[in-house]
Chain A
Amino acid sequence: MLAALIIVFREVFEAGLIVGIVLAVTRMVPHRHRWIAGGVLAGVVGACVVAAFAGALSQLFEGMGQELFNAAILGIAVIMLTWHNVWMARHGKEMAGELRAVGQAVAEGSKSLLALAVVVGVAVLREGSEVALFLYGVAASDGGTAMSLFLGGLLGLVLGGAVCLLTYFGLLRIPPRALFTTTTVLITLLAAGMAAQAVSFLERANWLTALDTVVWDTSWLLSEDSILGRTLHTLIGYTDQPTGMQLVIYAAVVLVTIALMRLVGSEPPRHAVAAG
Chain B
Amino acid sequence: MFASLTSIRTFALAALCVAATLPLSTANAQQATELQITYDGAFLPSELRAPAGKPVTVKVKNNTAKAMEFESKTLKVEKVIPSKGEAVVNVRAQKAGRYEFFDEFNEKARGTLVVE
Partner of B80, one of A54, A140, A208, A224: A54
Counting CB contacts under 8 A, is B47 at the interface?
A: no
State the interface size on chain B (CB cutoff 8 A). Answer: 28
**Given A54-B82, A58-B81, are A205 and B23 also a contact pair (CB < 8 Å)?**
no
Asked if B26 and A137 sit within 8 Å, CB to CB, the answer is no
Q: Which residues, 74 to 89 on B, are CB-close (under 8 Å) to A?
A: 76-77, 79-83, 85, 87-89
In this assembly, does B24 line the interface, its C-beta being within 8 Å of a C-beta of chain A? yes
Q: Which residues of chain A are near B82, meaning CB under 8 Å?
A: 54-55, 58
Chain A residue nearest to B21 (CB atoms) is: A210
Residues of B within 8 A of A129 (CB): 80
Which residues of A in the span 202-243 have a Cβ within 8 Å of any Cβ on B?
203-210, 212, 214, 223-225, 241
A contact residues around B85 at 8 Å (CB): 55, 58
Q: Mark B21-44, 1 if CB is under 8 A from A, else 0.
A: 011111011000000000000000
A134 at the interface (CB under 8 A from B): yes
A186 to B65, CA, bound (A): 42
User: What are 25 inter-chain pairs, A to B, with CB distance below 8 A?
Assistant: A7-B104, A58-B79, A58-B85, A62-B26, A63-B87, A63-B88, A66-B79, A66-B80, A67-B79, A130-B80, A133-B67, A133-B80, A134-B67, A136-B67, A137-B83, A140-B66, A204-B76, A204-B89, A206-B25, A206-B26, A208-B24, A209-B28, A212-B92, A223-B73, A224-B73
Top-4 shortest CB links A-B: A137-B66, A55-B82, A209-B23, A133-B67
Interface residues of B, Cβ cutoff 8 Å to A:
22-26, 28-29, 65-67, 69, 73, 76-77, 79-83, 85, 87-90, 92, 104-105, 107
Binding site for B on A (CB under 8 A): 3, 7, 51, 54-55, 58, 62-64, 66-67, 129-130, 133-134, 136-137, 140-141, 200, 203-210, 212, 214, 223-225, 241
